[in-house]
Chains A and B, each alone.
Chain A
């Protein structure tokens, strides 16, 4: 015991804080997917020292198959994660109060890509692939509303199921799977693509969320983190090629099976989706009308117990 006391005193002299104390100040941030250009702004903020300059100690930790982002937030492994608006609404409805500290996406990037040149709106009862981890709430609402009776096939992996011909259509993100399909040599006609943003489902997607409990205790840290993250995104928009270099570093570090071309296309699309269609600006804010739209659609289709309001999501 005495020896421990001496060691502690020694560490204090050296200016090194005990690990427990350091842990208190570190904000673990978890994007909801593996390393890719979808999260470029955060990587930029880290590499360029924007977090450090803002006085916040951020550690970016990607999720794993055994530890998805939402579970990490729930278990307080991560203090901030990215979520799509619909997922956030589901979480709040599920009983975990979370707050949006930074909204990056201003537009919806989800689409239905149909195989064999068929218009998704005319393919009633089609087998449509949907991510097993979620994200597809709007598509389910649309299928019910338009009476398309899609048979939803939940899948865990990428586009291979669709390419093998096992699916009639699949949900795709305009910045990810859509590009992967193009990269697979598919020639996708305009008739085969249904973009939700063009059909009254323009609901914001990615935003950074914290549990309300954590937020209330660390408001300043949250503010600094959000501010530095926003700065990272703005820098990324101004320096896309350098940003891409940073993204490829993260991708390489995690040995992600992707390439620079794909990440460039993803970055460009993500940056495009960050511009508000109406104002033409990178607003970085949650829009009450979109929260209301998403919440109402999900409530109408019995995905929520009660309608989630904008106020419930903002600090």
Chain B
């Protein structure tokens, strides 16, 4: 499953096709559901109309015959009442009934025991139509005591005409039985006393055949039940007159057919959706006149809706196949449309691998893919051009870096490399070439030294630094006072300063014999004196060198005691940043110097080494942001 999902996720064509087809399927489902619902309702209505018409027609047909029986019986009763004294007449009337109505099964005109004294206990004028021949006999005997029979008792007890429950009539003489139903009418004498019953029976074979033939659907069937629910018409002959509609409910109370049975027993007419033999059915039922019987047409739901179901299945199948076809076509079309994209992707891979001159496919298209291809071609050309430029630039950069390296070496070469005892200095540029400088030389028993920091960094700063250092050397070769050296240097630098650069500079001249030191500070950080203690050499506020050629720098003087180390530095020390951009600051410089003093390590190399270590520890992994220059001079009086 995961593999399929992964495959779909990789295939745009399948993904897009699926989305479209699923959306189309949803629309189809909604539309078809609505259609099927309405169509099913219409089919159901049609089934109801159809069954109702059949039942009405059959009912009318049955009632027509029943009415004839009732009318004929009433006429015979009239005759019997006109001549109640003559028992022989009863046989004539009984026979006449069947002669006039050859479709009647039999007719009995039966009287209460001993009503006719001359006839004794039994007097029942019984006529029976046997194949067109009317046979009339005395119907009562010890073996057939008619006055205990249902047909006789019903009319007598109910005191009104009624139809009996259908029953099997056994003709002993022919040993044949026939399912019949009898219409029984009580006979009253002129005083209104009950004297007997006229019974006219109809064979139900025709009714059974008529009802059995009601078959509006291939698997539908008809039933007829009596008052007691007994089946008198049923497709299963073994049930006829043996089972009732309720028989199986005695063992399974929940059978839904029970409701149908009761509705039919009540003589109701209607339709019921219920389960018959475990199958969903529509049952249409209607009473059969006044017989107490009820007929029903049972139509399996699958039959009623079979045409509809076929149509539905066909439509659903077509939609399903259509959607599949649609999915297939979409995938094919989208795959075909995306083919140039795939080629483009492959070419892009090739280009990405470095083959920039790969030839792109020619697309004769003006759509988005064509535009993309064109853009891709443009991009390829731009890329080739850019790469060429990049190559040149890289070459130039390499050349510059080489130059810079040489420049750095030249710059570093300008700085003193050999340090006498008690003097030491380091310069660590932030870039290849830096803007810091320091220098010293001894002339006439005096140590001339300077430390400076050119504004900016890199090559310009290094050039400015080189000039500053050269001028310092030149001026300090004949000038003794630092302020004059500074003035001279300032004038020279300001005059040639087209780029508005400047340099902070500290110049000192230490008399090595006395320890007397003249100094001048042009905006540089004041040096520390590390001797008996650690202190900052007081410095006047002077502007850096290079701004104003006429500026007069002040001269300051200090007495340096033997053993004191003058610690000079650039702002690369105090402004060294750690990873959190926090500055090393002056306090830490003083702290480290104090520690060195305490450890009696104020000797130049040691104090610079300790300071360098402290700075490196503080800065950690952070980049060096500025040139770092330190110079230490320890004065030892001879």
Residues of A at the B interface (CB closer than 8 Å) are 65-66, 127, 132, 153-157, 159-161, 163-167, 179-180, 182-185, 257-259, 261-262, 264-265
Contacts and interface: CB of A to CB of B under 8 A. Distances in A.
Contacts of B76: none
Nearest to B163: A164
Given A65-B144, A258-B242, A160 B165 contact: yes
Contact of A161 (B154, B261, B262): B154
Contacts of B154: 161, 164, 166
A132 B148 contact: yes
Nearest to B264: A185
B229 interface: yes
A165 B227 CA distance: 10
B164 interface: yes
Given A165-B158, A166-B153, A185-B262, A156 B246 contact: no
Contacts of B172: 66
Contact of A185 (B144, B246, B251): B246
A153 B153 contact: yes
A160 B143 contact: no
Interface in B414-441: none
A261 B145 contact: no
B168 A164 contact: no
Contacts of B246: 182-185
A180 B227 CA distance: 12
Contacts of A157: 148-150, 167
B148 A155 contact: yes
A155 B262 CA distance: 26
Interface string B133-149: 00000000001110011
B153 to A, nearest CB: 5
Interface in B147-194: 148-150, 153-154, 157-158, 162, 164-165, 167-168, 172
14 contacts: A156-B148, A157-B148, A159-B228, A160-B167, A163-B165, A164-B154, A165-B158, A184-B227, A184-B229, A184-B246, A185-B229, A185-B261, A259-B247, A261-B247
Contacts of B247: 183, 259, 261-262
B265 interface: yes
B613 interface: no
Interface in B113-145: 143-145
Contacts of A258: 242
A156 to B, nearest CB: 4
Given A160-B150, A183-B247, A65 B165 contact: no
B144 A160 contact: no
Contact of B228 (A156, A160, A264): A160
B332 interface: no
Nearest to A168: B157
A153 B158 CA distance: 13
Contacts of B149: 155-157
Given A155-B148, A185-B262, A185-B265, A179 B227 contact: no
Contacts of A259: 239, 242-243, 247
A153 B156 CA distance: 11
B228 A163 contact: yes
Contacts of A179: 250
Nearest to B157: A166
B241 A185 contact: no
Query: Which among B145, B150, B172 has the greatest number of chain A C-beta atoms within 10 A?
Result: B150
Query: Which among A127, A132, A261 has the greatest number of chain B C-beta atoms within 10 A?
Result: A261
B310 to A, nearest CB: 38
Contacts of B258: 185
Nearest to A133: B148
A185 B164 CA distance: 18
A66 B175 CA distance: 13
Interface in B227-249: 227-230, 239, 241-248
Contacts of A265: 250
B267 interface: no
B243 A160 contact: no
Contact of B148 (A66, A154, A165, A182): A154
A214 B202 CA distance: 48
A64 to B, nearest CB: 9
B164 A160 contact: yes
Nearest to A65: B143
B292 interface: yes
Contact of A167 (B157, B167, B229): B157
In the A-B complex, the 3 residue pairs with the closest CB atoms: A184-B228, A166-B157, A156-B148
A161 B153 contact: yes
A259 B239 CA distance: 8
Given A65-B143, A161-B153, A185-B262, A166 B158 contact: yes
A164 B292 CA distance: 9
Nearest to A64: B143
B148 A164 contact: no
Query: Which among A65, A160, A165, A262 has the greatest number of chain B C-beta atoms within 10 A?
Result: A160
A72 to B, nearest CB: 14
Given A66-B143, A157-B150, A164-B154, A261 B162 contact: no
B165 A164 contact: yes
Given A185-B228, A259-B242, A164 B158 contact: yes
B145 A132 contact: yes
A19 to B, nearest CB: 25
A26 to B, nearest CB: 26
Contacts of B230: 184
Given A160-B167, A182-B246, A261-B251, 7 more contacts: A66-B172, A161-B157, A164-B162, A180-B228, A185-B262, A259-B242, A264-B251
Nearest to A184: B228
A160 B242 contact: no
A177 B16 CA distance: 75
B165 A257 contact: no
Contacts of B164: 160, 164
Contacts of A155: 148-150, 153
B167 to A, nearest CB: 8
A160 B226 CA distance: 10
B229 A183 contact: yes
Contacts of A154: 148
B139 to A, nearest CB: 14
Contacts of B243: 259, 261
A154 B157 CA distance: 12
A160 B230 CA distance: 10
Contact of B168 (A159, A257, A261): A257
Nearest to B158: A166
B229 to A, nearest CB: 5
A185 B148 contact: no
A194 to B, nearest CB: 21
